[in-house]
């Protein structure tokens, strides 16, 4: 009954807002703040944010409360991983946050479960954000169901410029050779599907969404070309087994800061920018992913690129306050503050022009890599585990013959399709 009443309230509130919009009432919007909607007095909101953004999120929530001091709003900000947000929301919508950040690959899961409230003022959000980030937040019915927060939820190359030159950083072979010469490690999480998908995407396979049953669809790829890519990576991992280290990305900043320094380069994202910059100082380098030689030809590594979104719980007891807060947390000023404090690349088109973005090597690298990537949207839950297993076989297995690699790839695709 609680869920039904809350959902009914949300629908009625949305209807009243839409009527007000059409009637030319006192609603006003701007890129610098939340829409002026009728925020409930005494609203109590729960907000989920990732650990590294928790302090800034609290700061922004305090600014929101101050801006609406006449409404006596209470906001509780708690840590919740963006990668697990959807799972936690769907476990119990009533106990979940009113406003929460999540990764774009979870959008369909939340949509299917009717867990996201439609955005009250979609035109304003669409106008101020990049087309790609808006697409990631748009449902199959064409409605906007989340607020874009970043345009760069992907990864790129980070490296120590005192060990690896910019020229060497352009190719995977050059990076590995420079690391070997210096007695240092190159780190990537090859046993994590988020990163190991590089090996098949570089071979020409891409994701084409899911069908009505939720089965992952792929493009009409050339299987032999994909196997060529997998074989090239496997050979490099084994040829440079003294250099290549498959481990969680957290090993990169800690390895760069260690005494003596262990890591010279790796594949990481903006979430670790500050820690890596602190470790390397002026020697901090960031660039799009390098090329890798496949059948004698240098091929650009292709990655998975997603978006950070902020959603409003469809059964929030205070839908207007939740919508206004989500809008505030993703406006131009808030996105600039994330760029400055966290190194996150904004989706807001005006924020992209800010000096904190244009002068940032990490944000520039992430956005450059986004041009060589597969969109992390409309993905099946069955994608991750088989892809992680495939990545592990490439660097772990002693038998990395072409026939074995091809068989493992075919098994991976069948597992993703749940055949």
Phi, psi of 247 (to 5 degrees): -160, 170
Model confidence band, residue 343 (pLDDT cutoffs 50, 70, 90) = confident
* Mean pLDDT of all residues in 242-263: 97
**In the CATH scheme, what architecture does the domain 155-304+380-416 have?**
3-Layer(aba) Sandwich (3.40)
- What whole-number percentage of the chain has pLDDT above 90? 84
The span from the CA of 281 to the CA of 273, in Å, is 11
Using DSSP bridges, classify how beta strands 155-160 and 263-269 pair: parallel, antiparallel or unpaired: antiparallel
pLDDT surpasses 60 at 28: no
Model confidence band, residue 31 (pLDDT cutoffs 50, 70, 90) = very low
pLDDT surpasses 80 at 11: no
Token representation of residue 255: 């390895």
The span from the CA of 329 to the CA of 99, in Å, is 10
Token representation of residue 370: 């986004």
E strand or H helix that includes residue 130: none
Confidence at residue 153, expressed as pLDDT on a 0 to 100 scale: 86
Q: Do 265 and 188 meet the contact criterion of CB atoms below 8 Å apart?
A: no
Confidence at residue 381, expressed as pLDDT on a 0 to 100 scale: 87
pLDDT surpasses 90 at 19: no
Bridge partners of 284, per DSSP, are 160
The span from the CA of 366 to the CA of 273, in Å, is 11
Angle at 290 between CA 286 and CA 292, to 5 degrees: 165
Confidence at residue 3, expressed as pLDDT on a 0 to 100 scale: 38
Confidence at residue 34, expressed as pLDDT on a 0 to 100 scale: 47
Confidence at residue 76, expressed as pLDDT on a 0 to 100 scale: 98
Distance of CA 327 to the CA centre of its chain: 19
Q: Do 98 and 322 meet the contact criterion of CB atoms below 8 Å apart?
A: yes
Angle at 32 between CA 56 and CA 63, to 5 degrees: 40
Residue where the block lists tokens 């690959």 = 105
List of residues 6+ apart from 323 with CB closer than 8 A: 35, 37, 117, 119, 120, 312
pLDDT surpasses 80 at 86: yes
Confidence at residue 36, expressed as pLDDT on a 0 to 100 scale: 62
- What whole-number percentage of the chain has pLDDT above 70? 91
Spatial CA neighbour of 320 closest among 50, 41, 31, 29:
41
Spatial CA neighbour of 383 closest among 122, 109, 158:
109
Phi, psi of 127 (to 5 degrees): -65, -35
pLDDT, tens digit, for every residue of 292-326?
999 999 999 999 999 999 999 999 999 999 999 99
The span from the CA of 343 to the CA of 156, in Å, is 13
Where does residue 224 rank: exposed (0-12), middle (13-18), buried (19+ CB within 10 A)? exposed
Instruction: Please indicate whether the domains covering 2-152+306-370 and 155-304+380-416 agree at the CATH topology level.
Output: yes
pLDDT, tens digit, for every residue of 214-247?
899 999 999 999 999 999 999 999 999 999 999 9
Q: Do 147 and 128 meet the contact criterion of CB atoms below 8 Å apart?
A: no
E strand or H helix that includes residue 406: helix 402-416
Domain 2-152+306-370: CATH class, spelled out = alpha beta
The span from the CA of 167 to the CA of 210, in Å, is 40
For the chain, the structural domain boundaries read 2-152+306-370, 155-304+380-416
The span from the CA of 417 to the CA of 216, in Å, is 6
List of residues 6+ apart from 58 with CB closer than 8 A: 77
Confidence at residue 39, expressed as pLDDT on a 0 to 100 scale: 97
Whole-number average pLDDT of the chain: 91
* Mean pLDDT of all residues in 23-41: 54
Token representation of residue 290: 């390098």
* Mean pLDDT of all residues in 347-371: 94
The span from the CA of 12 to the CA of 282, in Å, is 55
List of residues 6+ apart from 325 with CB closer than 8 A: 34, 45, 47, 61, 64, 75, 98, 99
- Selected residue with higher pLDDT from 75 and 108: 75
Confidence at residue 213, expressed as pLDDT on a 0 to 100 scale: 86
The span from the CA of 268 to the CA of 30, in Å, is 35
Token representation of residue 293: 């030689």
pLDDT surpasses 60 at 121: yes
Spatial CA neighbour of 31 closest among 345, 349, 339, 353:
349
């Amino acid at each position: 009954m609680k869920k039904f009443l809350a959902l009914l309230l949300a629908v009625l509130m949305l209807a009243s807002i839409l009527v007000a919009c059409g009637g030319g009432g006192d609603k006003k919007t701007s890129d610098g703040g939340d829409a002026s909607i009728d925020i409930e007095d005494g609203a109590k909101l729960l907000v989920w944010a990732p650990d590294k953004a928790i302090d800034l999120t609290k700061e922004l929530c305090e600014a929101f409360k101050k801006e609406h001091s006449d409404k006596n709003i209470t906001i509780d900000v708690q840590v919740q991983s963006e990668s697990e947000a959807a799972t936690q929301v769907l476990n119990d919508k009533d106990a979940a946050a009113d406003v929460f950040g999540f990764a774009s690959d979870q959008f369909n899961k939340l949509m299917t479960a009717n867990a996201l409230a439609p955005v009250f003022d979609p035109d304003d959000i669409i106008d101020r954000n990049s087309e790609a980030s808006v697409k990631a937040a748009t449902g199959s019915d064409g409605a906007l169901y989340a607020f874009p927060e970043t345009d760069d939820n992907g990864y790129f190359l980070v490296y120590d410029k005192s060990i690896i030159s910019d020229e060497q950083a352009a190719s995977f072979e050059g990076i590995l050779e420079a690391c070997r010469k210096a007695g240092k490690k190159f780190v990537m999480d090859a046993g994590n599907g988020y990163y190991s998908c590089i090996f098949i995407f570089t071979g020409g396979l891409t994701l084409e969404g899911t069908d009505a049953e939720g089965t992952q669809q792929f493009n009409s790829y050339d299987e032999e070309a994909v196997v060529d890519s997998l074989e090239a990576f496997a050979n490099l991992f084994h040829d440079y087994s003294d250099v290549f280290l498959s481990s969680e990305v957290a090993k990169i900043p800690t390895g760069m800061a260690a005494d003596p320094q262990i890591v010279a380069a790796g594949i990481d994202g903006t979430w670790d920018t500050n820690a890596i910059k602190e470790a390397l100082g002026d020697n901090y380098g960031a660039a799009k992913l390098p090329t890798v030689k496949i059948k004698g030809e240098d091929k650009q590594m292709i990655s998975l690129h997603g978006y950070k979104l902020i959603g409003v719980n469809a059964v929030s007891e205070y839908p207007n306050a939740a919508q206004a807060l989500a809008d505030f947390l993703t406006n131009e000023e808030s996105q600039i503050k994330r760029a400055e404090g966290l190194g996150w690349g904004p989706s807001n088109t005006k924020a992209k022009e800010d000096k904190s973005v244009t002068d940032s090597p990490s944000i520039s690298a992430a956005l450059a890599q986004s041009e060589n990537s597969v969109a992390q949207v409309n993905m099946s839950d069955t994608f991750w585990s088989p892809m992680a297993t495939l990545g592990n076989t490439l660097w772990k297995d002693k038998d990395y013959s072409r026939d074995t690699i091809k068989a493992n790839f075919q098994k991976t695709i069948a597992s993703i399709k749940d055949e």
